[in-house]
Amino acid sequence: MAGLEQRPRPMPNAFNFAASPFDCLTPDEQALVRDGVDIAYFPEGAVVLDAGSAPTHLFVIIKGHVVQTEGDEVLASYGPDDSFDGRALVAGRTGSRFTVAEELIAYQLARETVGELIARNTAFGALLFSDLGHKLGTLAQRADRHELQSLTLARVDQAYLRAAHVVDAATDIVSVVRLFHAERTTSVLVSGLPQGGLGIFTGTTLQRAILDGRPLERLAVGEFASQPVFTVRADDQLGDALVVLLRARVHRLAVLDAQGQVLGFAYANWFKPRPAYRFSAEDSIYVHDAARGQGVGRLLIDALSHDCEAAGVRKLLAVIGDSANAGSIGVHRAAGFTPAGTLRSMGWKFGRWLDIVLMEKTLGDGDRSSPE
């Protein structure tokens, strides 16, 4: 690691344990961080991690900025409280270069300590691997250029698939869970937040609410909603929407109509939180009932596929409720997904048993090569 000047010293009390992924650590695990961390300094222009190198530390920025690149392409930038590169640390090899753009002071946490935290705390490992935003690069160059051009010039409102749901920030957690159950969804957008804009509440966020300890019927969903949720207009081109995803380092996006009402949103998330599944993801695409019927929902699935491949994902999974959902099954098949199995009579809704249809799509080299 060129340009490194280590300055070992006792861990200061100022370490920000409110920043992800450290916000889920127990007091004992926080003590493990304090005992196993040093402070490092890098001058402007120094290469902290180079492509193909074997990283030995997780870096958490105190001051300065770092740019992540592959060749001439800038993939992401990192500032105070951001960490890098957890995925490479566990994989054993760095896939891109991290260069100091502004004089850098950072905590460096040894690989062995990070491994111990993952072994102790599943949520820490999940958060460490789940930041797709920092991994999103340019659209995969292996894609057919004509198909890619058609994709990026398509309008966002041509890409809807499943129903989107919005709740007010004052809604209690129990009511949101009932909505999850009734609509067979795992996420809702949250409006009416004091700081403005939209938030998102998911099944993962629900775990935080449960661990809070207060009665769920007394907790407002707005208290736990994650922000920001970036938005685009329905008549924007998908290419512009992807630029928002890449520049904002996020993997979820809400779609608004001309009046600012939510029409739909889309995101991808890891298939399972355990490190062994860090190369597999699941897609989720939602649409308001009034915006359905455009006939080209495949476009947004394609966009997510390209983004996930750029993030290092090798397998993309679709979990489709109801084997009679011909629309969702058909659009996934058209996007290159193949059937992986059907779980019979897994859910009860509308007075009948519903199946779960599993479909999969191989990204990049799939299992033909090692991802590490």
Nearest to 303 by CA among 267, 339, 345, 274: 267
Residue 276 in any domain: the answer is yes
279 and 210 part of one domain:
yes
230 and 364 part of one domain:
yes
Whether pLDDT at 232 is above 70: no
Average pLDDT of 72-91? 78
**Domains contained in the chain, number:** 2
Question: Domain holding 87: CATH number?
Answer: 2.60.120.10
**Helices (runs of H) and strands (runs of E) counted in the chain:** 10, 17
CA distances from 159 to 105, 133, 139, 203 (A): 43, 21, 17, 24
113 and 237 part of one domain:
no
Q: What is the dihedral of CA 161, 249, 97, 364, to 10 degrees?
A: 0
Question: 263-287 pLDDT, tens per residue?
Answer: 566 677 778 878 888 899 888 776 6
Residue 137 in any domain: the answer is no
Q: Which of 103, 129, 155 is the last residue of a domain?
A: 129
Whether pLDDT at 315 is above 80: yes
Question: 87-126 pLDDT, tens per residue?
Answer: 777 667 887 899 998 899 999 999 889 888 888 876 677 6
pLDDT score, position 314: 93
Strands 338-349 and 352-362: antiparallel
Q: For the chain, give the mean pLDDT.
A: 76
Classified as helix, coil or strand, 12 is coil
206 and 290 part of one domain:
yes
162 and 221 part of one domain:
yes
240 and 355 part of one domain:
yes
Residue range of the domain that includes 162:
145-368
Looking at mean pLDDT, say which of 21-30, 38-47, 78-87, 120-129 comes out highest. 38-47
27 and 149 part of one domain:
no
Classified as helix, coil or strand, 91 is helix
183 and 314 part of one domain:
yes
201/303 Cα distance (integer angstroms) = 23
118 and 150 part of one domain:
no
Residue 119 in any domain: the answer is yes
The answer to whether the CB of 238 falls within 8 A of the CB of 152 is yes
123 and 214 part of one domain:
no
Q: Which of 97, 129, 161 is the last residue of a domain?
A: 129
- The secondary structure of 38-90 as a DSSP string is EEEEE-TT-EEE-TT----EEEEEEEEEEEEEETTEEEEEE-TT-EE-HHHHH
Residue 140 in any domain: the answer is no
Whether pLDDT at 19 is above 90: no
Helix, strand, coil share of the chain (percent; to 5)? 35, 30, 35
Residue 136 in any domain: the answer is no
Whether pLDDT at 144 is above 50: no
Residue 135 in any domain: the answer is no
Whether pLDDT at 183 is above 80: no
Classified as helix, coil or strand, 182 is helix
pLDDT score, position 41: 93
